[in-house]
């Protein structure tokens, strides 16, 4: 654990050398990387952490915050001037926004099925999201979690051996963000994607939801820094569905920087 100005952050690290940081998605925690963690390149330092009010990281106040500010403060506290960033889903949006806000602090960027901060979600998405909020706020947290498990984002993973990992992740989720989310409102990143400076690897599952496919299309077309790989037959959570492939692509992409 490490105490920052507004939050107690829980993190784990392994290895030594140049640091790469893993940022998990909505409803997850650092254990969402468990299938990938032992496969990661031993030639660098890897760090994974629980975002504020996920997992074992807890806010110290109800003040408005951003995950990007928390990440910047975490790097400062750990004396990390520059790192590579890997983010999945919502964590991909955090990593992308951090790279846009702090380009000099990011060496290379890996985005797995990323969200774009400030995205205007479709009516279809909101129609699936609202019943979860209503159930959680009515005190029916298990019903909210059941609806989350059945979300189309997870259609492909429910058919694979990693389904139990996702079940456990959802069971650990406290649901605080469904009850109250103190994350500050932010301006949409879509208008400034063309300013992205770090070399970026964008990993997309061929069977991911259309909304995330669209966000990936926009990111890919907005910057010449982006190299996109589409993984056949896989969906949204590639680090759970295809950890070996992810580890291979990470190593190829991140180690290319060291060879320059």
Segments making up each domain of the chain, as ranges: 2-118+182-259
Q: What is the pTM of this model?
A: 0.96
pLDDT per residue as tens digits for the range 74-106: 999 999 999 999 999 999 999 999 999 999 999
pLDDT per residue as tens digits for the range 3-54: 999 999 999 999 999 999 999 999 999 999 999 999 998 889 999 999 999 9
pLDDT at 260 over 50: no
Alpha-carbon torsion (127, 129, 133, 135), positive or negative: positive
pLDDT per residue as tens digits for the range 210-258: 999 999 999 999 999 999 999 999 999 999 999 999 999 999 999 986 5
pLDDT per residue as tens digits for the range 109-166: 999 999 999 999 999 999 999 999 999 999 999 999 999 999 999 999 998 899 999 9
**Cα-based distances in Å from 194 to 100, 189, 221, 222, 223:** 10, 10, 9, 5, 5
Instruction: Walk across the sheet containing 58-59 and list its strands.
Output: 2-3, 7-9, 58-59
Note the pLDDT of residue 258: 55
Other CB atoms within 10 Å distance of the CB of residue 55? 23
Domain range 2-118+182-259, CATH architecture: 3-Layer(aba) Sandwich (3.40)
Note the pLDDT of residue 257: 62
Please report, to the nearest 10 degrees, the dihedral formed by the alpha carbons of residues 204, 224, 254, 3 taken in order: -80
CA distance 241 to 41: 19
Q: Provide the percentage of residues in the chain whose pLDDT is more than 90.
A: 93
CA distance 189 to 41: 31
- As a whole number, mean pLDDT of residues 56-60 equals 95
Angle at 26 (CA atoms; ends 24, 232), nearest 5 degrees: 70
């Amino acid at each position: 654990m490490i105490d920052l100005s507004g939050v107690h952050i829980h993190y784990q690290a392994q290895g030594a050398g140049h640091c790469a940081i893993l940022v998990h998605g909505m409803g997850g925690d650092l254990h969402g990387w468990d299938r990938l963690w032992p496969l990661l390149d031993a030639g660098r330092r890897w760090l994974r952490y629980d975002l504020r009010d996920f997992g074992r990281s807890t806010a110290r106040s109800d003040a408005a915050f951003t995950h990007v500010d928390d990440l910047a403060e975490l790097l400062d506290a750990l004396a990390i001037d520059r790192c590579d960033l890997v983010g999945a889903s919502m964590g991909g949006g955090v990593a992308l926004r951090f790279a846009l806000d702090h380009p000099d602090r990011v060496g290379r960027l890996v985005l797995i099925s990323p969200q774009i901060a400030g995205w205007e979600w479709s009516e279809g998405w909101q129609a699936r999201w609202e019943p979860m909020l209503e159930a959680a706020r009515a005190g029916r947290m298990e019903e909210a979690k059941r609806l989350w498990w059945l979300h189309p984002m997870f259609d492909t993973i429910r058919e694979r051996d990693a389904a139990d990992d996702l079940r456990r992740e959802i069971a650990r989720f406290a649901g605080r963000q469904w009850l109250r989310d103190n994350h500050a409102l932010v301006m949409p990143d879509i208008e400034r994607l063309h300013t992205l400076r770090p070399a970026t690897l964008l990993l997309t599952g061929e069977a991911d939801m259309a909304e995330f496919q669209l966000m990936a299309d926009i990111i890919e077309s907005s910057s010449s820094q982006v190299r996109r790989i589409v993984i056949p037959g896989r969906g949204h959570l590639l680090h759970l569905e295809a950890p070996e492939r992810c580890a291979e692509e990470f190593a190829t992409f991140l180690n290319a920087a060291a060879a320059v």
